[in-house]
């Protein structure tokens, strides 16, 4: 069986590399051995898989069909080997994680640093930024996002429940009054955080249905922390994640409004590229974060 797999792997490696010499250099094997393996495979199957010339290597029709199935088979075997290895060995290696800046600094950091203490063979590249990160193009292993999953090429696992807070400073409420319904915000000054889902169309919930209210105001900013400061300064109403709003509410700097209309169901998600095999270091991090936020809820 191992000899059969070696022949199949040699065939795939030779075609992927574009020739026997290139495959020999890439995989540290002799050209003669690779040639023997491919010839033996063709003899066993009773068909020619490759057209060989001094300049070019191409697949026959049978070779193309065999290559597709053989590549998939080898990938499954490699994934299986990696899965078993991950299950029996300690997570290790470089882990690239993306998260929103303010959430990363205030809430994620203690959880993820505790993970590193548990798995000292893992090194961390933590990228805290509020822009939308392309995981595949930028080589990110996992991203923490506060939203719903939009990209079908990604997989997400719920880490924790989240909620948002609408609020304003006591000074502003004294000046313009307390809104009784989300529609009241159409005519009141609001702070627009362009990172917020919907941006200037704030989403509320009424009788189980989503209500979208267009808002406007004197400040547009790409930072929820700056949006909070603008609201504390009395410049407008603000929509914030609870982990940023609650401390200001506790200090009396912001007053929650429209609590009965705030949407539910937002979650903190771990998002990662669609792969059959999830690296052990990533799986261990996700499991750790689920356990961490079960004990330390995001208020």
Distance CA 202, CA 215 (A): 7
Q: Mean pLDDT throughout 141-145?
A: 88
Domains and CATH numbers, the chain: 2-88 (1.10.10.10), 93-161+266-295 (3.40.190.10), 164-261 (3.40.190.10)
What is the Cα 294 distance to its own chain's centre?
A: 20
> Which residues, 6+ apart, have CB-to-CB distance to 185 below 8 Å?
179, 202, 213, 215, 237
Which of 52-56, 187-191, 244-248, 263-267 is the most confident on average?
187-191
Mean local confidence (pLDDT), 180-192: 95
Query: In the chain, pLDDT over 90 holds for what percent of residues?
Result: 36
pLDDT given for residue 93 in this prediction:
85
Is pLDDT at 204 greater than 60 in this prediction? yes
Residue 120's pLDDT is 92
Q: Are 232 and 220 in contact (CB under 8 A)?
A: no
Instruction: Check pLDDT > 90 for residue 141.
Output: no
* Between 26 and 237, the higher pLDDT residue: 237
pLDDT at 276 over 60: no
Number of H helices, E strands in the chain: 10, 14
pLDDT at 273: 80
Cα three-residue angle 26-31-37, rounded to 5 degrees:
105
pTM above 0.85, yes or no: no
pLDDT in tens, 122-132: 999 999 887 77
For the cut 70, the answer to whether the pLDDT of residue 285 exceeds it is: yes
Give me the sign of the Cα torsion angle 101, 102, 106, 111.
negative
pLDDT band at residue 151, thresholds of 50, 70 and 90?
Answer: low
pLDDT at 110 (0 to 100):
92
Residues with Cβ within 8 Å of residue 181, at least 6 apart in sequence: 258, 261
Token pair, residue 29, equals: 């094997």
- The token pair at 173 is 């409420």
DSSP assignment string, 13-39: HHHHHTSHHHHHHHHT--HHHHHHHHH
8-12, 62-66, 128-132, 152-156: range with lowest mean pLDDT:
152-156
Q: So what's the pLDDT on residue 194?
A: 86
């Amino acid at each position: 069986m191992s000899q059969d797999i070696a022949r199949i792997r040699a065939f795939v490696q030779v075609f992927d590399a574009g020739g026997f010499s290139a495959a020999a250099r890439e995989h540290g094997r002799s050209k003669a051995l690779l040639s023997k393996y491919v010839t033996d495979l063709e003899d066993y199957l009773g068909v020619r898989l490759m057209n060989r010339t001094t300049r070019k290597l191409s697949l026959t029709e049978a070779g193309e069909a065999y290559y597709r199935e053989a590549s998939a088979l080898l990938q499954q075997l490699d994934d299986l080997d990696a899965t078993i290895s991950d299950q029996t060995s300690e997570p290790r290696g470089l882990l690239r994680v993306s998260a929103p800046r303010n959430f990363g600094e205030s809430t994620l950091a203690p959880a993820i640093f505790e993970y590193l203490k548990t798995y000292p063979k893992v090194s961390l590249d933590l990228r805290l930024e509020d822009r939308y990160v392309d995981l595949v193009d930028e080589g990110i292993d996992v991203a923490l996002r506060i939203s719903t999953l939009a990209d079908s090429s990604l997989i997400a696992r719920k880490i924790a429940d989240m909620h948002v807070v609408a609020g304003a400073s006591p000074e502003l409420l004294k000046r313009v009054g307390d809104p009784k319904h989300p529609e009241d915000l159409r005519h009141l000054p609001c702070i627009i955080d362009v990172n917020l889902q919907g941006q200037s169309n704030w989403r509320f919930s009424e009788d189980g249905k989503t209500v979208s209210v267009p808002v406007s105001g004197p400040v547009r900013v790409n930072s929820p922390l700056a949006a909070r400061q603008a609201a504390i300064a009395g410049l407008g109403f603000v929509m914030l994640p609870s982990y940023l709003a609650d401390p200001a509410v506790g200090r009396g700097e912001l007053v929650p409004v429209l609590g009965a209309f705030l949407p539910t169901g937002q979650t903190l998600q771990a998002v990662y590229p669609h792969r059959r095999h999830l690296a052990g270091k990533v799986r261990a991090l996700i499991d750790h974060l689920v356990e961490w936020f079960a004990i330390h809820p995001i208020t």
